[in-house]
């Protein structure tokens, strides 16, 4: 079973609760909006690393910024349609998306071309109100939004 861990930043604004999501980089998501946004997260091996440590490491790798050193709200786990189990924590913090320097990954593109290309892990990062976030986030991860809303009520 594949596992990922991540941190969902949130902030309170005059317009209500907002969350920071990342748009998945690479050619598969380039023209997609719905279902192409995610909690900044990444894979880890549960036998080798605690989920909390992985979430903090992956935040740094995905966004190029240190994770906020603040109280974290456990949001639990969800199982995505691809079978991956994602564990997340929410942290109240403000972050300017313009300061993000995303990590990169390599893949053969176009397929079977023999050409390796680099793509950003997240090609953009934005703040969303909860209603809008629900329309773009990976479907299973909307449970994290519900849990955060319950915590913040």
Flag whether the pTM goes above 0.85.
yes
18-41: pLDDT as tens digits: 999 999 998 888 889 899 999 999
Q: Quick one: residue 54, left, alpha or beta (phi over 0 = left, psi -120 to 50 = alpha)?
A: alpha
The 10 Å CB-count burial string (b at 16+, else e) for 92-120 is beebeeeebebeeeeeeeeeeeeeeeebb
d(CA 59, CA 22): 11
Residue 112: the pLDDT is 92
Q: In this structure, are residues 126 and 20 in contact, taking their beta carbons and an 8 Å threshold?
A: yes
Residue 152: the pLDDT is 86
Residue 96: the pLDDT is 97
* Residue ranges in the chain whose pLDDT is less than 50: none
Residue 142: the pLDDT is 96
Residue 28: the pLDDT is 86
Output the six-digit token pair for 138: 């990976």
């Amino acid at each position: 079973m594949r596992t990922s861990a991540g941190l969902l930043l949130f902030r309170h604004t005059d317009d209500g609760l907002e969350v920071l999501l990342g748009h998945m980089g690479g050619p598969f998501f380039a023209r997609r909006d719905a279902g192409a946004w995610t909690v900044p997260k990444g894979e880890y091996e549960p036998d080798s690393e605690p989920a909390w440590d992985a979430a903090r490491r992956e935040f740094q790798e995905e966004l190029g910024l240190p994770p906020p050193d603040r109280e974290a709200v456990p949001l639990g786990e969800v199982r995505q349609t691809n079978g991956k189990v994602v564990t997340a924590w929410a942290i109240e913090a403000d972050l300017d998306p313009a300061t993000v320097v995303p990590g990169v990954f390599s893949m053969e593109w176009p397929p079977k071309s023999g050409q390796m290309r680099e793509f950003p892990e997240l090609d953009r990062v934005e703040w969303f109100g909860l209603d809008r976030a629900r329309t773009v986030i990976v479907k299973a991860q909307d449970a994290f939004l519900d849990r955060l809303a319950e915590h913040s009520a």
